[in-house]
Copies of this chain bind each other. A is one copy, B any other.
């Protein structure tokens, strides 16, 4: 049920059993609540079961940068299993259900099964690839491109996770959160979105988004999906 997402790497039956055998604790977290605070020393990492979450960092000025968005199936703060303390926050974007897995369990399993270690390492590498693309997005593209790019990314990742029906996607972010993710202000995001709607690219209603013209949206967002490193579609278990 909860490890379908790891089809990205080839894992044998023993590895899967070991993963499923890891101890965990279920938790529900309300929208907006923190899963991790910057500076915390954490003992477990969390697997998103339902709902969306995001990672963010604060500048000294108080400005917030959203670093990544996570959807069901994502292992959110793997990075803290080896680093001493969290270097950023993790918050629930919607009401969320998570499985908390002790780091020690993760390390034990990955020590026993090199293929698991490999899979986790790969996950971290893909994570890094997405950061690089975001850096390019925020550093070099204009407002319209940045937003379109974000929309494309979340659409494709929802498709890969099988949690949407084609032209309709879940849209958990407020305009202010889009602003923090793209390095813009909420006001400017609002105006840019209006323009995109006027151009017939998308339409949005509370909590959901419809993409009218995916090829055009990709062009508008200078979007090339390679950086997501999605392999062939998840094998139908």
**Size of interface on A: residues with Cβ below 8 Å to B:** 49
B132 touches A57 (CB 8 A): yes
Q: Does A82 contact B (CB under 8 A)?
A: yes
Contact of A134 among B120, B133, B135 (CB under 8 A): B135
> Within the complex, which residue of B79, B87, B114, B227 is in contact with A226, where a contact is CB–CB below 8 Å?
B87
Q: Does A122 reach chain B (CB closer than 8 Å)?
A: yes
The CB with the most chain B CB atoms within 10 A, among A59, A141, A182, is that of A59
**Is the beta-carbon distance between B67 and A132 smaller than 8 angstroms?**
yes
A157 at the interface (CB under 8 A from B): no
| Contact mask for chain A residues 93-120; partner B; CB cutoff 8 A; 1 contact, 0 none | 0000000000000010011001001101
Set B57, B121, B132, B229: member contacting A124, Cβ < 8 A: B121
Q: Which of these, B59, B87, B182, contacts A132 with CB under 8 Å?
A: B87
- Chain B residues with Cβ under 8 A from A131's Cβ? 128, 131-132, 135
Query: Which residues of B have CB within 8 Å of A140?
Result: 59, 61, 63-65, 183
User: Once the chains bind, are B126 and A65 in contact (CB under 8 Å)?
Assistant: no
Complex Cα spacing A15 to B45, Å: 27
A139 touches B82 (CB 8 A): no
Q: Which of the listed residues A110, A122, A125 has the most CB atoms from chain B within 10 Å of its own CB? A: A125
- Interface contact B129-A87, CB-CB below 8 Å: yes
Contact partner of A84 (CB less than 8 A), chosen from B60, B84, B111, B229, is B229
**Within the complex, what minimum Cβ distance (angstroms) separates A53 from chain B?**
15
Instruction: Kindly provide the distance from the CB of A224 to the nearest chain B CB, expressed in whole angstroms.
Output: 8
A60 CB contacts on chain B under 8 angstroms:
222, 224
Q: Report whether B84 and A183 are in contact in the complex, using a CB–CB cutoff of 8 Å.
A: no
Chain B positions within 8 Å of A132 at CB level? 55, 57, 67, 87-88, 131
Task: Determine if A59 and B128 form an interchain contact, defined as CB atoms under 8 angstroms apart.
Answer: no
**Chain B residue with minimal CB distance to A221?**
B60
5 other contacts beyond A85-B226, A87-B129, A140-B183, with CB at 8 A cut-off? A82-B121, A87-B227, A114-B114, A117-B118, A139-B182
